[in-house]
């Protein structure tokens, strides 16, 4: 199960990296992914959460524009780092 989730995360991140421009939002926890195909209208905020030691503990993705089609259900993703 963990391997399956890890594979999904790697796939998701590689898809975003190869099909979108990633921009810093001028803070340490939020980035913007702007799709190269502008007809998607599905640009997103990528929000990282961290623990008190500064280690990443999770990622959520939220739509930027309200016109984003509901079928891009990024908002359902709530990726959490699992302890060993």
At 49-79, the pLDDT tens digits run 888 888 888 888 888 888 888 787 777 878 7
Q: How far is CA 62 from CA 4, 38, 54, in A?
A: 23, 17, 22
Residue 3 above 60 pLDDT?
no
Residue 69: predicted pLDDT? 83
Q: What is the pLDDT of residues 14-47, one digit of tens each?
A: 677 677 777 766 677 888 888 888 888 888 888 8
State the DSSP H helix or E strand holding residue 46, giving kind and residue range, or none if neither. Answer: strand 44-50
pLDDT: which is higher, 1 or 63: 63
Q: pTM for this one?
A: 0.67
- Asked if residue 23 lies in contact with residue 31, where contact means CB atoms within 8 angstroms, the answer is yes
Q: Residue with structure tokens 């984003």?
A: 68
């Amino acid at each position: 199960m963990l391997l399956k989730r890890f594979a999904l995360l790697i796939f998701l991140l590689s898809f975003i990296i190869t099909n979108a421009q990633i921009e810093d939002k001028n803070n340490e926890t939020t980035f913007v992914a702007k799709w190269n195909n502008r007809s998607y209208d599905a640009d997103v905020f990528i929000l990282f959460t961290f623990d008190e030691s500064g280690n990443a503990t999770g990622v959520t993705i939220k739509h930027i524009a309200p016109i984003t089609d509901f079928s891009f259900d990024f908002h359902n993703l709530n990726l959490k780092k699992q302890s060993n």
